[in-house]
């Protein structure tokens, strides 16, 4: 799979905006010596309310953009794009491609001894029913509740994760959940709401964040293929956003708790772009 790539090439990470930084954080922790190219499609966020047709097109354009940067692997950090767009690029992407749905589903199943689970995500991701389909394909006897939580993304981006408004939204969406073993946080932003969600569903429910499992999968794959970057120091992260880079900087700080250095505006989708 990695035959035409080089260990020193960066790993591409794609998200609809800043949310994918929760996944990048875990990738960075698992793979500190790797360089990354992160593309956040901030001009078109939120994907969570878009049609499948739009999300497929955006995903194809994002993958093409990252490939121009000679990435050796690509992670689709966005749950909505993983659910609706990944399939459309899986056979045409010439480097290993990782999504967040499968590892999330696997982690969820492993934490559900009595087979009762819930999945939280954006409206489009939940409507696609991809998570339920994958869970039932592996475990047909499972009981799966899926809930779209459209207010969670703007609440996080406004910095209101601990505000009473977040608590009210969590109670509104999750108040009806009963007797589940585990809940999959199937959206990049939801780990930031972890405490609020845990309060709403009670302490005995396991909350599953796929990012760690995704990072472990990518690390294993690079290791197996002898494609790990062997540089001595910490790798560099190059950020691209398709809209205002100052806004990206400000929001990114909320996700990473540290400033980002190398950021450029990505050319609008479909337009020719230059290499790094
Ligand atoms: N990144 C998206 C996801 O994980 C959330 C934000 C959006 O709706 O674009 O589904």
pLDDT at 275: 43
Q: Which of 91, 85, 127, 90 is nearest to 269 (CA)?
A: 85
- Total-model pTM: 0.94
Q: Point out the catalytic residue in the list 139, 187, 223, 227.
A: 187
User: Which residue is listed with tokens 């087979």?
Assistant: 115
**Side by side, which strands form the sheet with 182-186?**
143-148, 116-121, 182-186, 206-208
Mean pLDDT of 235-254: 94
Q: CB–CB of 190/155 below 8 Å?
A: no
What's the rounded Cα separation, in Å, for the pair 185 and 189?
9
Does the annotation mark 139 as catalytic?
Answer: no
pLDDT digits 0-9 by tens, 5-35: 589 999 999 999 999 999 999 999 999 999 9
pLDDT at 6: 83
CA of 119 from ligand 1 middle (Å) equals: 14
Mean pLDDT of 75-83: 98
Q: Kindly tell me if the per-residue pLDDT of 272 is higher than 70.
A: no
Nearest CA to ligand 1 atom 6: 46
Give the N- to C-terminal CA distance of the chain in Å, as an integer.
Answer: 23
Q: Kindly tell me if the per-residue pLDDT of 194 is higher than 80.
A: yes
């Amino acid at each position: 799979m990695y035959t035409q790539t080089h260990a020193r090439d960066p790993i591409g990470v794609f998200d609809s905006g800043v949310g994918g930084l929760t996944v990048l954080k875990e990738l960075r922790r698992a793979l500190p010596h790797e360089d990354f190219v992160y593309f956040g499609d901030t001009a078109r966020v939120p994907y969570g309310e878009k049609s499948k047709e739009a999300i497929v097109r955006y995903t194809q354009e994002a993958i093409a953009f990252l490939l121009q940067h000679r990435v050796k692997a690509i992670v689709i950090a966005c749950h909505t794009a993983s659910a609706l767009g990944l399939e459309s690029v899986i056979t045409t992407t010439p480097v290993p491609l990782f999504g967040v749905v499968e590892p999330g589903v696997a982690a969820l199943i492993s934490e559900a001894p009595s087979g009762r689970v819930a999945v939280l995500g954006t409206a489009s991701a939940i409507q696609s029913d991809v998570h339920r389909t994958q869970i039932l394909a592996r475990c047909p006897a499972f009981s799966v509740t899926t809930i779209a939580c459209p207010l969670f993304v703007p609440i996080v981006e406004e910095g209101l994760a601990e505000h009473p408004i977040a608590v009210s939204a969590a109670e509104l969406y999750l108040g009806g959940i009963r007797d589940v073993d585990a809940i999959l946080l199937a959206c990049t932003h939801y780990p930031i709401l972890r405490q609020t969600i845990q309060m709403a569903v009670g302490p005995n429910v396991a909350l599953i964040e796929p990012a760690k499992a995704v990072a472990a999968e990518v690390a294993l794959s690079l290791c197996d293929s002898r494609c790990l970057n062997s540089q001595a120091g910490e790798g560099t992260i190059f950020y691209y956003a398709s809209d205002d880079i100052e806004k990206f900087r400000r929001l990114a700080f909320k996700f990473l708790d540290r400033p980002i250095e190398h950021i450029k505006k990505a050319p609008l989708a479909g337009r020719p772009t230059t290499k790094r």
